[in-house]
């Protein structure tokens, strides 16, 4: 994985048990991880937009899982729509999970998805 320092407090799910991996299939312990990410994102001056963007900019799929939850927990999740599409465009093993967020956030989701599927 890349430079975890850019992830700020959102590095925590990579160092705890249960951690980020429970988010892959929303298995046992995932509610604990989701609540912790939401708590971090909603704590004033804790998680910044750049932390969330750094997770989504990674080539590795693991940070994407935490980034998706952070986006959806954000008070302004629409600010990250381009970052979500960017992660999808770059390819990710968690593309289905990534696609759920813009489906809920982007009014142009159908057109954007169709354009991407049509272009390969």
What is the per-residue pLDDT for 44?
87
pLDDT at 83: 97
Which tokens is 34 given? Answer: 């989701």
The structure's pTM equals 0.91
> Per-domain residue ranges for the chain?
4-119
User: CB burial class (10 A; 0-12, 13-18, 19+) of residue 51?
Assistant: buried
Calculate the alpha carbon distances from 73 to 90, 105, 120 in Å: 23, 12, 31
Per-residue model confidence as pLDDT tens for the chain (120 residues): 667 889 999 999 999 888 999 998 887 889 999 999 999 999 988 999 999 999 999 999 999 999 999 999 999 999 999 999 999 999 999 999 999 999 999 999 999 999 998 987
Per-residue pLDDT, 2: 66
Q: What pLDDT is stored for residue 93 in this prediction? A: 94
d(CA 56, CA 73): 14
DSSP classification of residue 14: G
pLDDT of residue 1: 67
């Amino acid at each position: 994985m890349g430079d975890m320092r850019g992830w700020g407090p959102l590095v925590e799910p990579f160092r705890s048990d249960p951690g980020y991996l429970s988010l892959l299939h929303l298995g046992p312990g995932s509610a604990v991880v989701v609540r912790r990410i939401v708590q971090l994102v909603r704590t004033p001056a804790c998680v910044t937009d750049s932390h969330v963007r750094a997770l989504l900019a990674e080539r590795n799929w693991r940070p994407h899982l935490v980034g998706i939850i952070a986006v959806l927990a954000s008070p302004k999740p629409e600010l990250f729509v381009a970052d979500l599409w960017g992660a999808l465009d770059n390819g990710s093993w968690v593309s289905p999970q990534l696609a759920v967020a813009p489906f809920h956030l982007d009014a142009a989701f159908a057109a954007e998805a169709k354009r991407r599927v049509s272009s390969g």
